Amino acid sequence: MDLHDRFFGRGTPTLGGPPVANPAIERPLSLQLLFDAPLDLDPDALTLALRTYHPELAAATAELLAVPRQGPPDGHPENDSGPGLIGLVGWGRHVVKLIGVNGPMPENVVELCVRPAHYDDELKQDAYRAAAHVLLYYAGYEDDPLERYVALAAAAGALARFGGVVVMNEDARTSVPAAVLLPHDEDEGDMLTSLRSFPIPFLYGGFVKLEVEGVPGVWMRTYGNSQLGLPDLAFHAGDHHEGTFAFNTFGNMLEYLRDSGRPFAPGHTMQVGPDTYFRLRDPAEGECYLESDGEMLVCERITAAEINTPQ
């Protein structure tokens, strides 16, 4: 089985054998990595970066195949792409497809993910000027969507050593500095535990503030949680200063849902802080800015006396 066949899911995976993409995954999770220079990836160097990332990746492999330059479709010169590559990285039950392009990502996609992100403007400008990008798609055999994202983040962390600037999640409309995914001293050699403990709205889901014309205050909401089997959440804040509160509260609520397996539903009430209480509702008619690929629940403040009281 050559790399090209295995990349497209043709072949049978075997224990200790080369990775084979899982053809049964119809909508794979994905992360995108922006680079500050044309791609200079070597499979042996990438394999070493993977194996030194974490002990669980000690037997990881990386394979790459050069792809010739693709000319632009008729009438669409902006879609011209330089020479690139495809590849597979794998370890254990995990397989990640890699598509590298020596050219920028579409401007609208980068803007969607970079503009609302919470890091310094200088790095955002580097992202806008990115010379190349790599698309990562989960193609392995792990069922838990969070573990799938952890595998993608680990692969992105290994790739970040080769000039990565920013890691994006287009489905979640968010991005983080690529350096965040590199091992750090405070991780004590256990970067995978750090990736598993990321608040969901940090990378695996997105957190965005929206100023809506004609609506006072600031809407704060998540994107992309349906990929994790979770609802998106929204909160109408008085101003931007409530961003940290909303981000932390959303993260805690989503972690509770994952840990407990219990669903939220419109009408549910809950205490989310020492003196803060929410009732959940569906988006109202006209709140088109709260549209979601999955379920969206709006968090509205109530008093302590309204807890467990039907609306």
pLDDT single digits (tens) 227-271: 999 999 999 999 999 999 999 999 999 999 999 999 999 999 999
pLDDT tens digits, one per residue of 4-44: 999 999 989 988 889 999 999 999 999 999 999 999 999 99
For residue 53, the 8-state DSSP code is: T
Long-range contact pairs involving 10-16 (C-beta distance under 8 Å, separation at least 24): 13/141
* pLDDT value at residue 94: 97
CA nearest neighbour of 22 among 34, 10, 33: 10
CA torsion sign for 113, 206, 27, 53 is positive
Query: Among all chains, which residue has been given the structure tokens 């980068």?
Result: 110
- Specify if 154 maps to a domain: yes
Q: Which domain holds residue 60?
A: 3-198
For residue 264, the 8-state DSSP code is: P
Q: Which residues of the chain carry a pLDDT beneath 70?
A: 69-83, 310-311
How many angstroms separate the first and last alpha carbons of the chain? 61
> Residues 35, 165: contact at Cβ < 8 Å?
yes
Query: Among all chains, which residue has been given the structure tokens 């539903």?
Result: 265
- Specify if 167 maps to a domain: yes
Q: Is the domain of 224 the same as that of 149?
A: no
Give CA–CA dist 279/99, Å, rounded.
Answer: 43
Q: Is the domain of 230 the same as that of 100?
A: no
Among 198, 230, 257, residue at a domain's last position: 198
Q: Is the domain of 21 the same as that of 109?
A: yes
Q: Is the domain of 165 the same as that of 187?
A: yes
Q: Which two tokens mark 302? A: 């109530």
Among 145, 176, 198, residue at a domain's last position: 198
Q: Which two tokens mark 181? A: 């995914």
Q: For residue 76, is it left (φ>0), alpha (ψ between -120 and 50) or beta?
A: beta
* pLDDT value at residue 262: 92
Q: Is the domain of 30 the same as that of 80?
A: yes
222: Cβ–Cβ under 8 A, 6 or more apart, which residues?
A: 172, 200, 201, 205, 206, 207, 208, 232, 233, 234, 250, 254
Q: Is the domain of 222 the same as that of 187?
A: no
Q: Is the domain of 174 the same as that of 273?
A: no
How many domains does the chain contain in total? 2
What is the SS3 assignment for 222?
strand
* pLDDT value at residue 69: 64
* pLDDT value at residue 82: 57
Q: Is the domain of 181 the same as that of 217?
A: no
- Specify if 311 maps to a domain: no
* pLDDT value at residue 188: 76
> Residues 88, 99: contact at Cβ < 8 Å?
no
> Residues 9, 139: contact at Cβ < 8 Å?
yes
Q: Is the domain of 130 the same as that of 7?
A: yes
Among 198, 224, 255, residue at a domain's last position: 198
Q: Are strands 232-237 and 296-302 parallel, antiparallel or unpaired?
A: parallel
Q: Is the domain of 62 the same as that of 37?
A: yes
- Specify if 36 maps to a domain: yes
Q: Is the domain of 212 the same as that of 172?
A: no
- Specify if 134 maps to a domain: yes
* pLDDT value at residue 310: 66
Q: Is the domain of 227 the same as that of 102?
A: no
